[in-house]
Structure 1
């Protein structure tokens, strides 16, 4: 369910409507993640002796945070690469003379 919600985000348009375009993906992704993260946390910490429960919980939360940070870094790198390719296709970075002319226009 979470994957379907995230895939719905791929079809978003800049002129889309919140209710018809964004909200269905948000609802599916949030419900799916809610139904996924709690059982995963329970599985990760079940069967652990009480003396090690804090350590197991800390390791699990740390791995979630590091995974999220690395995932964000990878996605940001991909987005920057795609943006650079798009800008190169339309003439690259604006030159100072172009910027000055844009202010006059």
Structure 2
């Protein structure tokens, strides 16, 4: 039963939407990388630079914010920021995700 609950929550999390980064339209991707610095950038600084995240998840005291941005043809970029319990960025990951056209 616990396994089924975990699977259902994972499915719901995967279906939750994220909004596109407004900054990606006017700011080069390199600037986004420079704006969010692990070990020094705070939640407030990230929010000011990238806007509110629509996907916030909590896990073991850490906070994960996920944004999307337009990427190359046929792809969507995902920008994921991990905050520690102190509100400072611990890690940043980005990737292009190819989604099949329906």
Identify whether the pair has TM-score above 0.5, normalized to the shorter chain.
no
Name the larger-Rg structure. Answer: 1
TM-score under structure 1 length normalisation = 0.27
Query: When you count helix as a share of all residues, which structure comes out higher?
Result: 1
Structure with the higher strand share, 1 or 2? 2
TM norm structure 2: 0.28
Greater RCO, CA 8 A, separation 6+: 2
